[in-house]
Each structure stands twice: as structure tokens, then as C-alpha cells.
């Protein structure tokens, strides 16, 4: 045994656990009564042998350890040693021993501490007499009933009505496990892979029913406890040698470990598949929320949100970032989808916006989920303008959104200036904009806005009056002109 495979645990138990692959391991225990101390009696060492299954179920036997010339540990158990477990097991198997040892008569057998690798590769059933199989098979109905009753009594999650799906699945699983064990005793090298999907299904059902693996692991432990006790009883009643209890118990625990491994695999596969499905549903939900025109035959948003495990909030915001932006700090509850070189987010809570600071993100206004496309549209326009919070610049965004129409309106408003030289037309356009923005429409106000002399402002105002006439006093024209000139200003701010 390699020393590196053993580590000490609590002094009170005196037991030692093994490495992750070891399923049967040996560790120092307190000295036996009347001895000079552990490890001092005739070169032998008093130890515990612990047969451990991956589910956490284990049986422990007090024994002495010797090492053969091949460095394989040989175990010696004192006459009357009892196979028992850490915790509440009480298997009560007696081991008469024909050999003499430092603690009195003892039996001896080699213990293979190699780990159980693939399903059932350890195959301790070769050490069991095939004649035990028909005896176990004849008792399977009562044995499986006792296992099911013990599991239902001790595991809360399985205390369902007898006719329920959970109770039926439990009974079928116990029957399959006991049947397979009997087959292994009868034919240790027989094919067993057809059982794998059945036990993986148990793990999948645990996940799909919203449970963890704790209840299933506990069920395996309890089933193994009952099986060890009852199988040993059957063997003793059939007058098999008493030392059959050791390989029989090891076989039960190895079998339970293999079944538990398959169920855990099924659980993990279901969880991985569900996680992938949730991610797909979230990407689809993000894309659907951002669509302006939705397919009337598509899945309704509430149902899609349930599949995405993303409860629809009352309000959302959309944010737009460069596709290369680092969003590793963004909360997983933020939906995301990449489109056209952009990373688009749907943020369900304003508290999640803080991580977007400094990320070159443009954030749209808060809207109802059905209007998320509007928030996205505003965020994209805000990004074009170089603004971070779209809701603070909605007028500019509105003008930018209607920019093509704004060009036509601007051309219409500025048509009287078209015949002027470009420089003069530009100066009068600026003067018209300052005039429309002033409260009293006086030359000093316009001069202050443009930073020019009041007399210069008066000359320009006289030229505008000559070109536009009474329109300058018409509220409708003033509104159109303000809208056109503001649109012109916004358009210029986004042009390269």
C-alpha cells in the first residue's frame, strides 16, 4: 500500500481514510485491550479496515495488518470481531478464524485496496459462491420490500403515497439493484451495461424534480445497510462459511458505489442539459424582447421567460456595448445577445447598471418589457451621439431618429438663404437660430448668444426680416424652424 494514499482523521475514531480512488482502506486504531500499544504485538499492527463506497456508505472491521513479500496487505481479524459501520450500522456478522494471531485465533485474507474505476470493474463477486444467487433471488421480494420500507422511513423525500410516481420509481430502482446484484453473484463477468441507463435515469429524475443528490445518496446507503445485513442472514441460514460476510459486504458496497456513480452522472447530465437549455432560452428571450415586430405565432413571452428561469420584471432597460467589451462582471441575471458587432443587454434592475460604468455602454430608458425594443433603439442612438444615459437626451434622440425627414424640413426652412453666398448663409442661419432661442427677440440677446456686437446683430436681423418677412412672427414657422435647426445640429454632431 502506498503511504501517500492514506491520511489520518480524528484521533477519537483512530480510523484513517484513503485516497479518492481507494474503496477499501486500512488505518491505525487504538491498541486492543491488554496489548502494549498499537503496532507492538508480534510485529502486527491493529487497524481498522474501512470499505468505502462513493456514496458515503462504509463498513469498518477491526483487524490486524501484515504485509506479504509482494507488499499486499493481509488482514487478520480476531475471533468474534464484528463487522460494523461508522454510525448506526449493526450488521452483527461473526468471523470464526482458524489461524493463530497475536490477539488470539484469527482468520486471514488479502484485501485489495485498488480503487473502483469504471462501472463494476472491481468485480468482488468472483469471491462469492454462485450457489448463493438462487437463494438471494428466491428472497428478493421480501428483501426489496424491507429496503423500500427502510428508505421511506428514513428519507423524507421518499415518503410519498404508495401509488405515486416517486414511490413507484423507488420500488423499481430497488428491485433493479437487487436483481443486478444477484446476477453479478451468479455470473460475475456477465454483461451489465444495460442497467446503466436505468440508474442514470434516477439521477435525472432527481434533478428534474428539483431535488439534489442527498436524498438519493441516503437511499443508497440505507439500501446497502439493509442488503448487507439480510444477505449475510441468507448466507448464514444456508450454512455458508462465516467468513463469506466480508466479501459479501464488500460486493454490496462496491455495487452501491457503482450505482451511485451512474445516478450522479445522470444528475450531472440533466443539470448540464438544463443549464444549456436555460442559456438558449435566455438568448432567445433577449432577442425576442428586442424585436419591434414579433411573430404572432411565437411562444408568448411569459412562457419563454419561465423556460429561461428569468421572471419578467415590471421595467427593463437595454444597454449597448462594443462586441469586444469585457462583461465578466455583469450579473448573470442580465440577458445578453450579440448582433452586428454590438453586445446588447437587457437589464432587469437598475442596481445592476453600476458595473457598466466605464464600459463604453449606452443605456436606454426604463420601459415595460413589451417595449424593450424602444429602450434598445434609444440606447443605440445614444451611443451614436456619444451619450451614456439615453433618457437624459430624448429630444436629441428623437431628432436623430427622424434625421432624414429633418433634412427635408431644414431645407424647407432655410430655402430663402439658398441663393446667398455660403459664408453669409451660414452666419444668417446662426442668427436665426439665436433669435428663435431668445426670449425677447432683441438684438442685445442675439448678440450675447453669438458673441458679436449688438449693431452687427441688428444688421443681421434686418436681413432676416427682409428674407422671411412676417414668418418670423408666425408660431408655426418658428416651431418648424426650431425643429429643423435643432435637427441640423444633432445631425452634424454625429457626422464624422
Annotate 277-297 with DSSP letters as a single string: HHHHHHHHHHHHHT-SS--TT
- The enclosing H or E element of 403 equals helix 403-413
> Regarding predicted confidence, which is higher, 452 or 57?
452
Give all domains of the chain, ordered by start, each with its CATH number: 3-110 (no CATH), 125-272 (1.10.490), 313-397 (3.30.70), 403-494 (no CATH)
Gap between the Cα atoms of 373 and 320, Å rounded = 12
Residues near 483 by beta carbon (within 8 Å), at least 6 away in sequence: 399, 406, 409
Gap between the Cα atoms of 396 and 40, Å rounded = 91
Over the stretch 89-134, which tens digit does the pLDDT of each residue have? 223 333 333 333 443 433 333 333 333 344 455 678 888 999 999 9
Query: Is residue 489 pLDDT above 80, yes or no?
Result: yes
Cβ burial, residue 22 (10 Å; 0-12/13-18/19+): buried
pLDDT for 121 equals: 58
pLDDT for 22 equals: 34
Task: Tell whether the torsion through CA atoms of 455, 457, 463 and 469 is positive or negative.
Answer: negative
pTM for this entry? 0.44
Query: Is residue 373 pLDDT above 60, yes or no?
Result: yes
> Regarding predicted confidence, which is higher, 354 or 101?
354
CA angle in degrees (0–180, nearest 5) for 204-206-210: 115
C-alpha closest to that of 201 among 265, 144, 120: 265
Gap between the Cα atoms of 52 and 210, Å rounded = 28
C-alpha closest to that of 217 among 22, 23, 57, 51: 57
C-alpha closest to that of 86 among 32, 50, 45: 50
pLDDT for 91 equals: 30
For residue 163, what pLDDT band results from cuts at 50, 70 and 90?
A: confident
Over the stretch 44-66, which tens digit does the pLDDT of each residue have? 333 333 333 333 333 333 333 33
Gap between the Cα atoms of 168 and 189, Å rounded = 30
In DSSP terms, 25 is beta-bridged to 50
For residue 72, what pLDDT band results from cuts at 50, 70 and 90?
A: very low
Amino acid at each position: 500500500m502506498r503511504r501517500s494514499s492514506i491520511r489520518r482523521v480524528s484521533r477519537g475514531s483512530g480510523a484513517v481514510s484513503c485516497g479518492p480512488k481507494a474503496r477499501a482502506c486500512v488505518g491505525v486504531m487504538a491498541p486492543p485491550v491488554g496489548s502494549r500499544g498499537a503496532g507492538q504485538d508480534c510485529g502486527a499492527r491493529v487497524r481498522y479496515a474501512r470499505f468505502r463506497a462513493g456514496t458515503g456508505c462504509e463498513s469498518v472491521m477491526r483487524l490486524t495488518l501484515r504485509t506479504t513479500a509482494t507488499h499486499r496487505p493481509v488482514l487478520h481479524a480476531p475471533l468474534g470481531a464484528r463487522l460494523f459501520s461508522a454510525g448506526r450500522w449493526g450488521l452483527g456478522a461473526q468471523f470464526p478464524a482458524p489461524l493463530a494471531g497475536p490477539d488470539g485465533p484469527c482468520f486471514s485474507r488479502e484485501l485489495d485496496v485498488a480503487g473502483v474505476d469504471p462501472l463494476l470493474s472491481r468485480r468482488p463477486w468472483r469471491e462469492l459462491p454462485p450457489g448463493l444467487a438462487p437463494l438471494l433471488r428466491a428472497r428478493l421480494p421480501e428483501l426489496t420490500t424491507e429496503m423500500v420500507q427502510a428508505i421511506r422511513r428514513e428519507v423524507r423525500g421518499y415518503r410519498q403515497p404508495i401509488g405515486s410516481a416517486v414511490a413507484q420509481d423507488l420500488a423499481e430502482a430497488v428491485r433493479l439493484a437487487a436483481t443486478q446484484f444477484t446476477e453479478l453473484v451468479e455470473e460475475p463477468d456477465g454483461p451489465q451495461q444495460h442497467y446503466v441507463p436505468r440508474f442514470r435515469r434516477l439521477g435525472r429524475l432527481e434533478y428534474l424534480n428539483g431535488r439534489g443528490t442527498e436524498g438519493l445518496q441516503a437511499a443508497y446507503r440505507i439500501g446497502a445497510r439493509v442488503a448487507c445485513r439480510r444477505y449475510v442472514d441468507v448466507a448464514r441460514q444456508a450454512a455458508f462459511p462465516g467468513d463469506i460476510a466480508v466479501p459479501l459486504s464488500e460486493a454490496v458496497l462496491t455495487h452501491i458505489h457503482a450505482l451511485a456513480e451512474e445516478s450522479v452522472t445522470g444528475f450531472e447530465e440533466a443539470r448540464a442539459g438544463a443549464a444549456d437549455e436555460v442559456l438558449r432560452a435566455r438568448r432567445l428571450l433577449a432577442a425576442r424582447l428586442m424585436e419591434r415586430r414579433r411573430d404572432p405565432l411565437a411562444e408568448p413571452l411569459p412562457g419563454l421567460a419561465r423556460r429561461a428561469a428569468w421572471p419578467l420584471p415590471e421595467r427593463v432597460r437595454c444597454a449597448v456595448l462594443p462586441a469586444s467589451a469585457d462583461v465578466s462582471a455583469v450579473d448573470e441575471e442580465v440577458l445578453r445577445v450579440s448582433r452586428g458587432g454590438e453586445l446588447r443587454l437587457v437589464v432587469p434592475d437598475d442596481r445592476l447598471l453600476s458595473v457598466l460604468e466605464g464600459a463604453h455602454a449606452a443605456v436606454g430608458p426604463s420601459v415595460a418589457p413589451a417595449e424593450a425594443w424602444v429602450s434598445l433603439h434609444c440606447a443605440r442612438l445614444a451611443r451614436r451621439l456619444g451619450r451614456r444615459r439615453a433618457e437624459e437626451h430624448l429630444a436629441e434622440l428623437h431628432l436623430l431618429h427622424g434625421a432624414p425627414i429633418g433634412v427635408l424640413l431644414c431645407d424647407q426652412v432655410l430655402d430663402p438663404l439658398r441663393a446667398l453666398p455660403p459664408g453669409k448663409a451660414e452666419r444668417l442661419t446662426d442668427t436665426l437660430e439665436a433669435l428663435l432661442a431668445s426670449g425677447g427677440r432683441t438684438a442685445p440677446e442675439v448678440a450675447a448668444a453669438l458673441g458679436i456686437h449688438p449693431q452687427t446683430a441688428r444688421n443681421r436681423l434686418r436681413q432676416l426680416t427682409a428674407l422671411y418677412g412676417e414668418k418670423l412672427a408666425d408660431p408655426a414657422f418658428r416651431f418648424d424652424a426650431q425643429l429643423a435647426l435643432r435637427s441640423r445640429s444633432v445631425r452634424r454632431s454625429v457626422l464624422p
